[in-house]
Amino acid sequence: MAKKKKSSIDVGSLTIGTILLLIVGFGIFTLVSSLMTDEGNDPAKEKQAEVVPKISESDYEGQPTLGDANAPVKIMEFGDYRCPSCKLFNDEVYPQLKKEYIDTGKVQFTFVNFQFMNDSFQAGEAGEAIFKQNPEAFWKYHHLMYANQENHPAGSWTHEFIIDFVKKEIPEVNVEQLSKDLKDGTYKAVVEKDNQLARKVPVESVPAAYVNGRFVNNSMDYEQLKKVIEEELAKK
């Protein structure tokens, strides 16, 4: 009988210990869960973080822009003329964007240089010089540089090439002035300033699109870009 009594006490002690461990463990789990929610796992806070604008109004000033100045949605695209993905954005995403949103007055589109690949920096300088002369001619130049990207290997966009190319393809541009601007580095600081803006944002890859300051995760996906545009339009 004594053995039986001792056995009963041992089992009872084990049960009480187990219960205590469960209670303590549950308390720790609840505390940790609460801290995690407070410090960053709150979905509402995560969603709020996603929509914090990274582009200010002043960043649009002096940039090549298309569309209604009073459009409710502003898109800023960072690109490099040597970037194959930027070419795809220009060839496949941009035409849909222009037809559905820019031409209808819903979106104002802005292009900003992030020229860092091979000889793209000088191509960016030429673009800025042309924009200063003739904003409409800039967009012709912009699309032609992407259209001819594959035909001219890296390193071929020399001063002479750009002048000959523009003279042939965009006759409304004063090539003498363009040549002088390139030789003097007149717009070098403008392209450098654009690149600095891209790094400040920061732009981690190109093309990069921002809709009313909101970064679009995959700007190569038109449906994703459209989704963010529609969300912004719904706020107006």
pLDDT digits (tens, 9 = 90+) for 71-84: 999 999 999 999 99
8 Å CB contact between 201 and 54: yes
> Given this model, what pLDDT does residue 118 score?
85
CA atoms within 13 A on the CB side of 42: 10
**What pLDDT does residue 216 have?**
97
Q: Is the pLDDT of residue 2 over 70?
A: no
- Per residue in 113-145, pLDDT tens? 999 998 999 999 999 999 999 999 999 999 999
Predicted confidence at residue 74, as pLDDT, reads: 98
3-state secondary structure of 77: strand
The rounded distance, in Å, linking the Cα atoms of 173 and 141 is 10
| pLDDT above 50 for 3 | no
Measured between alpha carbons, how far is residue 96 from residues 135, 206, 220, 233 in Å? 21, 19, 12, 17
Q: What is the mean pLDDT of the chain?
A: 85
Distance CA 66, CA 107 (A): 9
Whether 173 contacts 134, CB under 8 Å: yes
53: pLDDT confidence band, cut at 50, 70 and 90? low
**Has domain 57-234 been given CATH number 3.40.30.10?**
yes
List the single range of 35-39, 103-107, 150-154 with lowest mean pLDDT.
35-39
Domain boundaries, the chain: 57-234
What local confidence, expressed as pLDDT, does residue 52 receive? 52
Section 205-215 average pLDDT: 97
